[in-house]
Amino acid sequence: MNWYKIFESEKDANREVPERSIMRLKIKGKAISFAHTKHGYFAVDDECPHLGESLSKGTVNYLNEIICPWHSHRFHMQSGTECKGRSGDLKTYKVEIKEDGVFIGMDD
């Protein structure tokens, strides 16, 4: 697994991605939705497996789900599972907060 620094500190991450918001990132050519919930930070594929809309244009809810803006498919951020089984699941990525920054782990 390779780790990619996305923020210099947790403070920077909090400022750029406040709780209940999402930011679209591009790492090694891969679009990723980076979300902040009351449960922490999560990273998942940005493309909805249903019809391909960018999940970073959607919302997150109190259940720790990211919601597609087109058809409201809901994906649990920790597992990537679509909550009602209507589409495929999302790939999830590990997020780690370290002294020297916030990182996303990806298998290249």
The per-residue pLDDT for 67 is 96
What's the confidence (pLDDT) of residue 85? Answer: 87
Task: Tell me the pLDDT band of 81, cut-offs 50, 70 and 90.
Answer: very high
Domain count for the chain, please give it: 1
Indicate the DSSP class of residue 16. Answer: H
Q: What is the pTM of this model?
A: 0.94
Which domain covers residue 56, as residue numbers?
2-106
The answer to whether residue 84 scores a pLDDT higher than 80 is: yes
Q: Tell me how far CA of residue 105 lies from CA of 6, 43, 44, 52, 61, in angstroms.
A: 10, 9, 11, 23, 24
Return mean pLDDT, the chain. 96
Pair 107, 95: CB distance under 8 Å:
no
The domain that holds 64 is classified in CATH as: 2.102.10.10
